[in-house]
Amino acid sequence: MRRVVFRMPMPALFAALTTAICATPVAWAAPGLQAIYLLPLGFGWWVVRNRTTVDEERLVARGTFGRRVIAWSEVSAIKVVARGWLSARLADGSLVRLPAVRAGHLPALSVVSGGRVPDPSAPEPDEAAPDETDATASDRVEDAAPAGTTPDSTTPDAPAGEKPTAK
């Protein structure tokens, strides 16, 4: 059985450690300021805890303080956000955030889910590899206009949007 675990990058723990070290002079400046250490400790907990585990049967989204197990049969769609974590849209319309899973992980998510999540990087059926009898890519002639020309122009020096004039 295939399984993939999407996690926060572990080097992020260095940020928590560095913050704790840099906070030391402030934390010991007055009684009670040692509570400032809770911030890097909380960030470290967040980095270690947030993850999504995906296999052929289910998704397990683990957050900072809990986890949610979702069977693939409950998932109606995957919401893709360009700059953020993906979410699973359930059959009842609710969204479940998938920690540490980004749009770049869709091909791996597609493989592990058994094709339940489409792979956007896979070629379309009409873009499939040509048969052996077809000419190679270097032997094919493109119908596109040469670089620097528009379909209306006949000279590559004509500015874009202007048609050459006859003299």
pLDDT confidence of residue 114:
84
* Nearest by Cα to 5 from 88, 130, 112: 112
Global model pTM greater than 0.95: no
Per-residue pLDDT of the chain (167 residues; tens, 9 = 90+): 789 999 999 999 999 999 999 999 999 998 999 999 999 999 999 999 999 999 999 999 999 999 999 999 999 999 988 888 999 999 999 999 999 999 889 888 888 988 888 877 777 666 555 554 444 443 333 334 444 444 444 444 545 555 555 54
> Which residues, at least 6 apart from 52, have a Cβ–Cβ distance to it below 8 Å?
5, 6, 59, 60, 61, 62, 98, 99, 100, 101
**Other Cβ atoms closer than 10 A to 107:** 13
The structure tokens 């899973």 sit at 101
Q: What CATH code would you report for 3-123?
A: 2.30.29.30
pLDDT confidence of residue 134:
43
